[in-house]
Amino acid sequence: MPYVESSISIKAPARHVYEIAKEQERFPEFMPDVESIAVVERHESRVLTKWKTLVEGAPIEWIEEDRFHDDACRIEYKLLEGDLDKFEGAWTFSEDGNGETLVTLGVDYDFGVPTLAELIGPTLQKKVQENSEMMLAAIKAEAEAKVAGRST
């Protein structure tokens, strides 16, 4: 299965950035490719959400379960149903000791069409990488704006 990992450094405390990432229903407010995220179920340490995104203008929808590990500032997510066969991974948030947080997003995915993967696998991997980097950049902008006292 293809795996993509992206990281970004954010000038904000890890707990602050982690809390922003937990509010997934707000992602469409500051992530252009995310059309909507609806909370299906919310529990103390996990949430089920329904996502609608655009990849190269094509809509992709899925339902995922996110598990929150507050003590470790870690979010693990896993596809439950949708347009992909596999889509799972984790967000990690770790402070570097200088007031910055390194956020890493790992994505393990499978589009479920082996022939398609053979033909355009590198293109798909590039799109997953670009989408991950877009999400991280959006979280960075939101977190740094909030720390500076201005919200998007």
Distance, CA of 93 to CA of 20 (rounded, Å): 11
pLDDT of amino acid 1 = 65
Distance, CA of 55 to CA of 95 (rounded, Å): 31
Record: fold of 3-147: Alpha-D-Glucose-1,6-Bisphosphate; Chain A, domain 4 (3.30.530)
Q: Tens digits of per-residue pLDDT, 31-49?
A: 888 899 999 999 989 999 9
Domains in the chain: boundaries: 3-147
At residue 128 the predicted structure's pLDDT band, cuts being 50, 70 and 90, is confident
Lowest mean pLDDT among 6-15, 85-94, 120-129: 120-129
